[in-house]
Structure 1
Amino acid sequence: MDLSATPAVLVTGIGAVSCLGGTADAFWTGLKAAAGRPTAVPGLTERVPDVLAYQVPDGAPATDAAHAAPGRATRFALSAVREAVADAGLEPREIAGAAVVIGTAGGEGGAREGDHTSESKGTAKGAGTAKGAGDGEGTRDGAPAGAWEPVFSVAATVGAELGTFGPNISVSNACAASGYALSVAVDLIRRGEADTVLLGGAEGIAWVPPASFSRLGAADPETCRPFDAERRGTVFGEGAAVLVLQSARAAAGRPAYGRVLGTAWSCDAHHPTAPDPGGEQPVRAARAALEEAGRAPGDIGCVIPHGTGTVQNDVIEYRVLREVLGDRAPATPLFSLKAFIGHTAGAAAAFAAVTAALIARHGEIPANIPLASPDPECPVRLPQDGPTPLEHPNVLVNAYAFGGSNFSMVFGGEAR
């Protein structure tokens, strides 16, 4: 592909709220320190003992009462968006004309879960005090009991709070949601429909998803440990990750983290939850992203895999990488992000994209969390002894989802 003929899509700002803290700086510092650990979910772990989660600490982000959103995912998204907007130095006119594209698997689905309410979740985890508490009106995340609120309202609320008047799109196709959202954002810029897009993913811990994974036998009771032979499933995380994407015209004069060089989707439609053991469609997506990026396997300096810690996903993803990267696969370092922050579901690809931008900016890959028992069925390269230099400024990101939705992106650290 002739990249000179493809409109550039640059990343000029980032923001993050995660179990590692309420800012992108705290996120990067936590990755370098391997600081994330899952904890009990108040009210849920007592009922489902094998459920833990990587949860945003109390007070991160700090709640601005004048701009408090009603739900966890939306509060996290707003904080990350404001940080990304400030990081990019966007002017009011740019914010007003921006598009908003947010991926989320659960939205504010926690508000639909009935009676395990703000006491066990909101107050215990800093999710805000319920309105009307003590006055006989039961509430959940600020909404009166029985009141109807839209579940997938994160993008709309972000747009309303910031006063954006460009396209406003919510994407929700399970754990590939923010990957697909990123592709939509890139297309908006390349088609000339937006010069600036606030792109991200957001999730707040609810009860149904982790409890459901427990029933499926896919919840690890200890920690999220992708590619470890002792892994027993995934562990959910929460938070939000946001990137400011801009056309070359809008980004002129701004420092950039790099470029989104290529994105691709595919769907294998093999099974409602299980991945296709052949891996044909994830391979197709990764190759298409590389082709659009104009990059070869030897140009990839790091892979941020989907790597959930489930037995099937990790083995199949290894086979996919072996097929896509060929003889470069054993030498290409992976950064196993979910071992640090858990599986953030619909926000996972956005977190991976923010991580790719930080790796490219700093020119190094943080040390992976050591594996107790590396799985011989997926012998990926996971450097664990200190940071690894990024030898090539291109990062491949993968995200997969229930229903067979596959996403890949190539991020280039060379801004222009």
Structure 2
Amino acid sequence: MNEVVVTGLGVLSCLGIGSERFWSGMIRARSTPQPLDDPHANVRMALLYPVPDWEETPATATRFALRAAEEAVRDARLDAPDPRRIAVVVGTGMGESAAHEARRVSGELASEWMPTFSVGAAVGELVGARGPNTTVSNACAASGYAISVAADLIRSGEADVVIAGGAEAYSRVGLGCFDRLGAIDPQRCRPFDRNRAGTVFGEGAAMLVLEPANRARARGARMYAELAGEGWSCDAFHNTAPEPTGAEIRRSMRQAMTDAGVSPGDIGLVVPHGTGTELNDAVEAEALHDVMGTPPPLYSLKSLIGHTGGAAGAMGVLAAALITHNGWVPPNVPLADPDSELGLSLPETPARLSRPTVVVNAYAFGGNNVSLVLRKVV
């Protein structure tokens, strides 16, 4: 079976636009959510980690995805592959809801219906992909699943190149739902802090170019990391709450590690789902201890960029690819009061990646769980 490798990266987040700014922001480990600039949002907690300097209005998932896809394709320096062998898989939770909300407020009737799957369709049109085109929309795990589906398309021989990732823009409906659930932190996104009180949303998109390793080597491409294994599961427990024992979370991690042929001792880092909600963080921490014994260090990405919803899994994979490629783990955003009862290590100083394999977790409403394993290309 031919290995699947990452050869191109494109990203927008509160750290700015481009993978270089994303990595620099990871190294600085500083960010602050902004007061929400939306007079029509009837919510109690109004904070957001927005994409800065974005001038297109409204800011939509499709526009974010297109910009990130352009960068990823340019970064990969693709060699004009057969369009019939190019596929697209994009994950998004809210799709184009932001565009519909903007039209509703302005009184403008939508001239065209823009459903969730239009995000992937727009990326396919951009890159001229005539292979499979899919948009995955299972909430906050969407883009983790999307990248896993992309890997399957390559391994099964259905595609030679897949543009995969996720995108999410601010949505009044999405924020309102979490506000009604009482799941928004009034200060910032602070996973694994003793006083964590919910999550804070972030905007953005992360897109990756995936190829078979033999194709990438033949054209002399830069390979950031190998996508070595993936695991899926579903709690089948509750619409929004995680199953308290974390049994299916553990299964998805174990499946991904088995798929990659690695053991807990091979893992140098975990990029957790870690939303900052009290129960989710506790369940994931317990699962990490059960699966890995003494868990390796964690890199808490949402502490830096917020919870990017359906794009969160792809953001985690992109961060893991950069860490694997550079061989360094950036510092975590410092916690005011780390929750020592969770027994997790979140280093606040940069360090060498001790073992070149990283696990990325993404979980979602509906009990959807996905774990992915990335490792250094050898």
TM-score bracket for this pair, using the shorter chain length: over 0.9
Q: Is the 8 A contact 1:14 1:88 kept in 2?
A: yes
Q: Which residue of 1 aligns with 2:366?
A: 403
Q: Which residue of 2 aligns with 1:301?
A: 268
TM-score, normalised to structure 1, is 0.87
- Alignment partner of 2:314 out of 350, 360, 370: 350
1:148 maps to amino acid = W
Q: Is 2:20 the partner of 1:53?
A: no
Q: Is the 8 A contact 2:163 2:209 kept in 1?
A: yes
Show CA shifts across 1:301-325 (max 9, x none).
1000000000000000000000010
Q: How does 1:14-413 map to 2 (within 5 A)?
A: 14-44=9-39, 47-59=42-54, 72-93=60-81, 97-113=85-101, 117=105, 138-139=107-108, 144-145=109-110, 147-252=112-217, 253-326=220-293, 328-329=294-295, 332-384=296-348, 386-413=349-376
CA distance, structure 2, for counterparts of residue 342 and residue 388 of structure 1? 23
Secondary structure in 2 matching 1:105: coil
Q: Is the 8 A contact 1:44 1:207 kept in 2?
A: no
Q: Which runs of 4+ in 1 moved over 6 A?
A: none
Q: Which residue of 2 aligns with 1:134?
A: none
CA distance, structure 2, for counterparts of residue 403 and residue 409 of structure 1? 19
Kindly report the root-mean-square deviation, in angstroms, between the aligned alpha carbons of the 2 structures. 1.8
TM-aligned CA deviation for residue 37 of structure 1: 1.6
Q: For the structure 1 residues 44 and 175, does the alpha-carbon distance in structure 2 shift closer, same or farther, using more than 3 Å as the test?
A: farther
Q: Which residue of 2 aligns with 1:125?
A: none
Q: Is the 8 A contact 1:218 1:234 kept in 2?
A: yes
Q: Is the 8 A contact 1:71 1:108 kept in 2?
A: no
1:101 maps to amino acid = V
TM-aligned CA deviation for residue 255 of structure 1: 1.9
Show CA shifts across 1:322-369 (max 9, x none).
00101x32xx11000000010011100100000001001111111001
TM-score, normalised to structure 2, is 0.95
TM-aligned CA deviation for residue 151 of structure 1: 3.4
Secondary structure in 2 matching 1:370: coil
1:105 maps to amino acid = G
Secondary structure in 1 matching 2:73: helix
Secondary structure in 2 matching 1:237: coil
Q: Is the 8 A contact 2:87 2:161 kept in 1?
A: yes
CA distance, structure 2, for counterparts of residue 94 and residue 319 of structure 1? 46
CA distance, structure 1, for counterparts of residue 176 and residue 223 of structure 2? 40
Show CA shifts across 1:89-114 (max 9, x none).
11233566310000001111123336
CA distance, structure 1, for counterparts of residue 24 and residue 79 of structure 2? 28
Q: For the structure 1 residues 151 and 254, does the alpha-carbon distance in structure 2 shift closer, same or farther, using more than 3 Å as the test?
A: closer
CA distance, structure 1, for counterparts of residue 223 and residue 82 of structure 2? 16
Q: For the structure 1 residues 393 and 94, does the alpha-carbon distance in structure 2 shift closer, same or farther, using more than 3 Å as the test?
A: farther
Q: Is the 8 A contact 1:51 1:220 kept in 2?
A: no
| Unpaired stretches in structure 1, ≥5 consecutive residues | 1-5, 64-68, 119-137
Larger radius of gyration between Structure 1 and Structure 2: 1
CA distance, structure 2, for counterparts of residue 221 and residue 238 of structure 1? 18
CA distance, structure 1, for counterparts of residue 39 and residue 25 of structure 2? 26
2:252 maps to amino acid = A
1:296 maps to amino acid = S
1:353 maps to amino acid = V
CA distance, structure 1, for counterparts of residue 92 and residue 144 of structure 2? 10
Q: For the structure 1 residues 45 and 58, does the alpha-carbon distance in structure 2 shift closer, same or farther, using more than 3 Å as the test?
A: farther
Secondary structure in 1 matching 2:346: coil
Q: Which deviates more from structure 2 when the two are superposed, residues 400-409 or residues 145-154?
A: 145-154
Q: Is the 8 A contact 2:42 2:176 kept in 1?
A: no
CA distance, structure 2, for counterparts of residue 71 and residue 374 of structure 1? 35
Q: For the structure 1 residues 263 and 151, does the alpha-carbon distance in structure 2 shift closer, same or farther, using more than 3 Å as the test?
A: closer
CA distance, structure 2, for counterparts of residue 272 and residue 293 of structure 1? 30
| Unpaired stretches in structure 2, ≥5 consecutive residues | none
Q: Is the 8 A contact 2:100 2:110 kept in 1?
A: no
CA distance, structure 2, for counterparts of residue 382 and residue 412 of structure 1? 20
CA distance, structure 1, for counterparts of residue 69 and residue 342 of structure 2? 36
Secondary structure in 1 matching 2:215: helix
Secondary structure in 1 matching 2:81: helix
